Amino acid sequence: GIQVEQSPPDLILQEGANSTLRCNFSDSVNNLQWFHQNPWGQLINLFYIPSGTKQNGRLSATTVATERYSLLYISSSQTTDSGVYFCAVVDYGNNRLAFGKGNQVVVIP
């Protein structure tokens, strides 16, 4: 099945800082999702981004499917951005979303 790797695993940010999270995947994909798992455990959909670039407020994402990676940008980070960020791609061979292990982000005031 498809392997999904995320980096860095852990990140501590000062409030107001910018950051980039990376997701690499082992095979060609035609879909990719980014999620934010907040400290209460809820999984929030951030982006469905098979290719190209999308922006939503202070967050943006870029997927370069031909090079098998996606990037999530957080600008002017706030304490509410804390949590774990997951990327996931569809593994058609196993009929599932294949998740990375996540990027644990802590934003300190």
Give yes or no for residue 86 binding other proteins (CB under 8 A): yes
Cα 40 to Cα 36, 37, 73, 83, 101: the distances in Å are 11, 8, 22, 9, 18
Task: For the CB of residue 40, give the shortest distance to other proteins in the complex, in Å.
Answer: 9
Q: Number of residues interacting with other proteins: please give it, by CB under 8 A.
A: 22
Q: What is the Cα 97 distance to its own chain's centre? A: 14
Contact 6, 100 (CB under 8 A): yes
Give yes or no for residue 106 binding other proteins (CB under 8 A): no
CA dihedral 71, 53, 44, 87 (to 10 degrees): -30
Give yes or no for residue 70 binding other proteins (CB under 8 A): no
DSSP conformation class of 57: T
Binding span for other proteins by CB under 8 A among 11-19, 20-28, 56-64, 100-108: 100-108
Give yes or no for residue 31 binding other proteins (CB under 8 A): yes
* Chain residues that interact with other proteins, rule: CB under 8 A: 4, 30-31, 33, 35, 41-43, 45, 48, 86, 88, 90, 92, 94-97, 99-102
